[in-house]
Amino acid sequence: MSAGWIERLRERMAPRGQAQPGHSGARYASSPLLTAKTPIWRSRLVLITLGLSFSLLFGRALYVQVIDKEFFQAQGESRYQRTFELQASRGRITDRNGEVLAASVPAPSVWMIPKDFQATPAQLTELARLVDLPPADLTAKAREGGNFVWLRRLVDDATATRIREMKVKGVFLQREYRREYPEGEAAAHVVGFTNLEERGQEGVELAFQKRLEGRKGSRSVVRDRLGRVVEDIGEIIEPEDGQDIALSIDNKVQFVAYQRLREAVSQHNAKAGSAVVLDVRTGEVLALVNYPSYKPGDRSTRIGENLRNRALTDTFEPGSTMKPFIAAQAIQTGRVKPETIIQTAPGSITITGSTIRDSHPHGALTVEQVIQKSSNVGTVKLAMQMQPREMWELYRSVGFGLKPEMEFPGLASGRLRPYKSWRPIEQATMSYGYGLSASLFQLAHAYTVFARDGQIVPVTLQKQPAPVEGVQIFRPEVALSVRKMLGMAAGDGGTAPKAQALGYSVGGKTGTAHKQEGKGYAGNKYRAWFVGLAPLKAPRIVVAVMVDEPSNGRYFGGDVAAPVFSQVVQQTLRVMGVPPDREVTPQIIARSQAAKAEEESF
């Protein structure tokens, strides 16, 4: 080997960092960077930094997987999982014969996942038109982000079909139910209505909410990135439909009462009106109507005065309709007989400085004639023989001052002050219906005591299969005597000959009163009503009619409310299949309608 080659081999085999003799390269072992000592704090800092990093990672993992596990799972699941509510069908409301008054029908609603929404300008414009939103508002909803927003609830089938055909990404249809009311305005104040979530807001819809609503179901699904359902998760909970409610209302009677009432309000240029029809055997409400009314399915009509269920919520001084109760109590206690003479001359009576008058002097009247002629003086003379407590207990026994025991919202109790606070003049005026207040429904209920041979019967809005027992207030013969008086009041020489009905005997009592305004009474505003029963010998129904502020020249109850009573009675009894109990020709009825009524004292 040559000496040069041997020398090069030694250099290669020599340890690195050791310079070979005669070599002129760099000396690495003597470099100041390699020979300097590393500070101990630097290695510790690195170790601490690594330790803190691992601690933070561990803490975050602990928080995500243990401490707030549910939140993060929910956030993750929301990306692919959705739970849909399965709507229960709300129960139907029917009349006593099974005719539908309210029912739920399927109706699609439009909703959107804002974060997934994608639409071309043309689709955006068309979708905005279909959901009745300005395009700018629709765009704003999409920009809100999130996973759910309603675009429009309860659309028609044509709109739903068009939206489905557009296939806009992020827009979906969901089946809900829309409430429909076939009888519209006629039954509105009985049935009521629901909101968009099908929760009752008024009437029977509100009163029987728990029974009608049923129970919602649910379905959990997995969706893909396009929002399409891939599979179900867990068990599907089927919805449980609500119960049907069968009311005591007779659809035909309800419609007739509404039509006749509306005509009367229009004819007399009145502000409003109400009517109630009760079956005296069962206590069932066969009809309850008010005018003006509203369309339950049309939100634009559900405003202000239209919503007032006047028959149940409005109270007023019942006026002369209270007189039969005073006569009944006087006979019940043996103070008088129906034929007892009461001297009403000179047509006025003064009590503690206040004078009470009849519309005109009547002279001597029997108790029967006091009711027939509606004499204030005769009634006051009967009432002032009683103690205040006796009168108070009488009125309470037939429901005045008490809320009717019936499942319905907004029932008024009226006003009947404690007897201990009555002054003599107040006792006198309360005998003919001033100084207390009641609703039309309370009046109708109270008159069942005369129709049921002295029993006051419980009332109900639900169908009652059999007659019910009442509470005995008067002896049967007393009730029979008062029925005769009511028949006289509705006949020739009484205050309401216009109450006569074709084919049926009737009896009842008129009421007319100035309307209260502030602390006094309006001089030219009246409320007219009539409460009666038919057929007179064996009553089946009580009918009460009230017309508020008639202003077409006539305002007495016998002229304004009694004709409505007549029409409702004859048509209701025919619907019920009650045979006529008297031979009355249309000519006789025409003469009765044309006869001059006894002017009522009020």
Domain parsing of the chain, residue ranges? 83-246, 251-594
State the pLDDT at residue 586.
67
Based on its alpha-carbon atoms, the radius of gyration of the chain, rounded to whole angstroms, reads 42
Rounded CA gap, 91 and 89, in Å?
A: 6
Could you tell me which residue, 235 or 276, shows the higher pLDDT? Answer: 276
pTM of the full structure: 0.79
Strand, coil or helix: what is 261? helix
Q: Residue 297: how many CA atoms within 13 Å on its side-chain side?
A: 15
> Contact, 457 vs 440, CB < 8 A?
no
Q: In the numeric block, which tokens belong to residue 444?
A: 């109708």
Beta bridge partners of 82: 221
State the pLDDT at residue 161.
85
Lowest mean pLDDT across 62-66, 302-306, 405-409, 418-422: 62-66
pLDDT > 70? residue 448: yes
Lowest mean pLDDT across 136-145, 264-273, 339-348: 136-145
State the pLDDT at residue 32.
63
> Contact, 141 vs 149, CB < 8 A?
yes
DSSP string, 439-462: EHHHHHHHTHHHHTTTEEPP-BSB
Nearest alpha carbon to residue 498 among 267, 336, 248, 209: 267
Strand, coil or helix: what is 60? helix
Q: Rounded to the nearest 5 degrees, what angle is found at the Cα of 408, between the Cα atoms of 447 and 243?
A: 125
Rounded CA gap, 309 and 193, in Å?
A: 13
Tell me the average pLDDT across 366-378.
96
Residue type, 449: V
Nearest alpha carbon to residue 436 among 405, 391, 473: 391
Superfamily of domain 251-594, CATH level 4: DD-peptidase/beta-lactamase superfamily (3.40.710.10)
Residue 19 pLDDT grade (very low, low, confident, very high; cuts 50, 70, 90): very low
DSSP string, 331-353: HHTTS--TT-EEE-TTSEEEETT
pLDDT > 70? residue 332: yes
> Contact, 454 vs 476, CB < 8 A?
yes
Could you tell me which residue, 373 or 178, shows the higher pLDDT? Answer: 373
Residue 335 pLDDT grade (very low, low, confident, very high; cuts 50, 70, 90): very high
Tell me the backbone φ, ψ of residue 315, rounded to 5 degrees: -115, 150
Catalytic hit among 320, 505, 592, 601 = 320
pLDDT 10s digits, 482-518: 999 999 999 988 999 999 999 999 999 999 888 877 7
| Beta-carbon count within 10 A of 66 CB | 8
Beta strand pairing call for 100-112 and 171-180? antiparallel
CATH level 3 topology of 83-246: Penicillin-binding protein 2a (Domain 2) (3.90.1310)
Strand, coil or helix: what is 545? strand
Residues 6 or more apart in contact with residue 1 via CB below 8 angstroms: none
**Residue 31 annotated to the active site:** no
State the pLDDT at residue 22.
47
Q: How many residues comprise the chain?
A: 602
